[in-house]
Amino acid sequence: MSEPKNHLSSARCSDLAEDISVIGQDEAVSHIRDLDPQWQINIEEKTISHTFTFKNYYQTIAFVNVIAQIAHQQDHHPDLLASYNRCTVTYTTHNIGGLSMKDLICAAKINAAQNL
């Protein structure tokens, strides 16, 4: 039986081992299929990113605040680029120099929060 699609959104970064490791390209591609198809992997930069669009600045900033809460709860922080009606969210795990399960967990949590 396969894992449910929301298995990443129900995971917690704090549940991962202290010595997290870089996940390989194949594993990252496998997990990113569980996310919104707009999430993109950049293999060279070792990141995942998604540009979300909104109707106005207020909605964009409200979304940024949701991301800030998720980042605080998970103790894992993305790079954000916010403008009037867009926000690009980029994840990588800087201290290991690549993608980790933390990046995918947080991306899934953003997707879940956006669907509320």
Q: How does pLDDT run across 41-53, given as a tens digit for each residue?
A: 998 899 999 999 9
Total-model pTM: 0.89
Tell me if 52 is assigned to some domain.
yes
Tell me if 4 is assigned to some domain.
no
CATH of the domain at 89: 3.30.1360.20
Q: Which residues pair with 98 in a beta bridge?
A: 93
* Burial zone of 41 (CB within 10 Å; 0-12 exposed, 13-18 middle, 19+ buried): middle
Structure tokens at 6: 């929301």
Q: How does pLDDT run across 47-77, given as a tens digit for each residue?
A: 999 999 999 999 999 999 999 999 999 999 9
Tell me if 19 is assigned to some domain.
no
Q: Which residues pair with 56 in a beta bridge?
A: none
- The whole domain housing 56 covers 41-116
Q: How does pLDDT run across 10-54, given as a tens digit for each residue?
A: 889 888 877 788 998 888 888 888 888 899 999 889 999 999 999
Tell me if 75 is assigned to some domain.
yes
Query: What is the rounded end-to-end Cα distance, in angstroms, of the chain?
Result: 27
State how many domains the chain has: 1
Tell me if 16 is assigned to some domain.
no
Structure tokens at 105: 């967990």
Q: How far from the centroid of its chain's Cα atoms is residue 19's Cα?
A: 20
Please name the amino acid found at residue 110.
I
Please name the amino acid found at residue 81.
L
